Amino acid sequence: MKTIIEPFRIKSVEPIRFTTQNERKELLKKAHYNLFALKSDDVIIDLLTDSGTSAMSSAQWAAIMNGDESYAGSPSFDRFEASVRDLMDFKHIIPTHQGRAAEAILFSLIGGKGKHIPSNNHFDTTRGNIEATGAMAHDLVIDEGSDPKSLHPFKGNIDLDKLVAFLDKYGENVPCIMITITNNAGGGQPVSLENIHFCAKIARSYNVPFIIDACRFAENAWFIKQREAGQGDRSIKEIVRDMFKFADGMTMSAKKDAFANIGGWLALNDDELAQNAKTKLIQTEGFPTYGGLAGRDLDAIAQGLKEIIDEDYLRYRVRTNEYIIERLDALNIPVVKPAGGHAVFIDAKSWLSHIEPLQYPGQALAVALYELGGIRGCEIGTVMFGRAPDGSENQAAMELVRLAIPRRTYTQSHADYIVEVFEELAKIKDDLKGFKIIEEPPMMRHFSAKFATVI
Ligand SMILES: *Cc1c(COP(=O)(O)O)cnc(C)c1O
């Protein structure tokens, strides 16, 4: 059969509350046009994030009942550790309450003033945690990665020439090399197995640890299987194990490719660094056998990791994005191609070319999608990345709107609705106005900035 169907039946449902366009106009005003300030009850289709919003399986809910809440030595930790190690064979696996807690612990130990940390593209919390220590975060993605029109199969790859030049320039001040798979901030684009292995090789030759930000490792492995020469006949598990084989550590958000509503971990091979991380963990998260989580959360993750590498799931997952992208493309709406793993990205700079980058075309588009259809997406552009640590404001490399697709949560008719909202928006998009920021915090401003329309 050609039709790729949702590979699950629905056992439990959550009603959606419908709002009218006029209601949403008022709600937007009250939220100062920041979609993070909306109540989720006021959102019809919530594509703000795919983080922690997955539908858990009946097996995961059953595993939750087996959670053991012992402070130390819980069997839930053993199940969690075994499940992680089955895919990523690191010596020390340290649970945290989210991915960013793993980042905060890692960079508090290896970051600091004068340090420089490269990645393909750092995710916003990763960048925030690096900069909070006084270190600098650098993005070295290949040029194709910043070109929404490029059809390169691995647009998340790091530019290896730039990486070598970077290491020669900053020398001892590079405490680690990172790579984000898939590359969230760069459009959810995958990194090839070859690129991951070359990174590890370069890291080894410069004697610098290689750390993978692995939030969407299963989606990345699926793309490797589909797109990389010689990988098509391997199982997802084999590819995943190969991806991590030469890495020295990883940070992970279990809210992504572990189907959990909360959780994460830091994994390391170095004994001394791991010991220091565990000490920090006890200070800030909890004892190393629960790390800021309930025992039941560890069991949900352990089960989720078994389900995420299922090929029927991954095929459906990526097809959902492709389907929306094909239909938007047919409407001449500029989308990032090829489809990424977890989200659909619209190129607002080119679609709303009448709005200047410093008047945030991505924000204008995200606000319009909510007003017209009750869809909540997220600007990934100058609002998110435009404020430099020195206080200056510069336009970001791309002005994207991300429609992140929660895992196993929405169906094809929801996808058809999303496309229809775009179809309507296309008729009025030339009248959309830009925004200015009237209030912002010193860091990670997109979460809480207040906006006003530019007249
Ligand atoms: C979500 C995410 C993080 C942070 O994880 P949280 O669990 O949200 O703290 C880090 N890196 C990437 C690439 C992510 O997508």
Domain boundaries, the chain: 21-50+310-453, 58-307
pLDDT at residue 444 greater than cutoff 90? no
CB of 125 sitting under 6 A from ligand 1: yes
State whether the beta carbon of 100 lies less than 6 angstroms from ligand 1: yes
Q: Which of 86-100, 209-223, 286-300, 440-454 has the lowest mean pLDDT?
A: 440-454
Predicted local confidence at residue 443, as pLDDT? 83
- CB of 213 closer than 6 angstroms to any ligand 1 atom: yes
Q: What distance in angstroms lies between residue 113's CA and the mean position of ligand 1's atoms?
A: 23
pLDDT exceeds 80 at position 453: yes
Give the SS3 label for residue 66. coil
The answer to whether residue 124 scores a pLDDT higher than 90 is: no
Distance from C-alpha of 65 to C-alpha of 421, rounded to nearest angstrom: 41
Domain 21-50+310-453, CATH: 3.90.1150.10
Ligand 1 touching residue 368 (CB < 6 A): no
The three-state secondary structure class of 135 is coil
What residue type is 354 in one-letter code? H
pLDDT band at 455 (very low <50, low <70, confident <90, very high): confident
- Read off the pLDDT of each residue in 280-298 and give the average, rounded to a whole number: 96
What mean pLDDT do residues 52-76 have? 97
How many Cβ atoms sit within 10 Å of the Cβ of residue 22?
Answer: 9
pLDDT at 184: 85
Return the CATH class of domain 58-307. alpha beta
Residue 388: what pLDDT? 86
Confidence (pTM) = 0.93
* pLDDT value of residue 106: 98
pLDDT number for residue 398: 87
pLDDT at 255 over 90: yes
Return mean pLDDT, the chain.
Answer: 96
Helix or strand or coil: residue 367? helix
Ligand 1: centre distance to CA 242 (Å): 22
Q: How far apart are CA 224 and CA 56, in angstroms?
A: 25
Q: Is 264 in the pocket of ligand 1 (CB under 6 A)?
A: yes
pLDDT for 431 beyond 90: yes
Listed in order, strand segments (DSSP E) in 248-399 are 249-253, 264-268, 343-347, 375-376, 378-380
Is the CB–ligand 1 distance for residue 183 below 6 Å?
no
CB 187 within 8 A of CB 146: no
Local confidence band at 185 (pLDDT 50, 70, 90 cut-offs)? confident
pLDDT for position 2:
84
Residue 186 has pLDDT above 80, yes or no: no
The pLDDT confidence band at residue 217, using thresholds 50, 70 and 90, is very high
- pLDDT, tens only, 351-406: 999 999 999 999 999 999 999 999 999 999 999 989 987 889 999 988 999 999 99
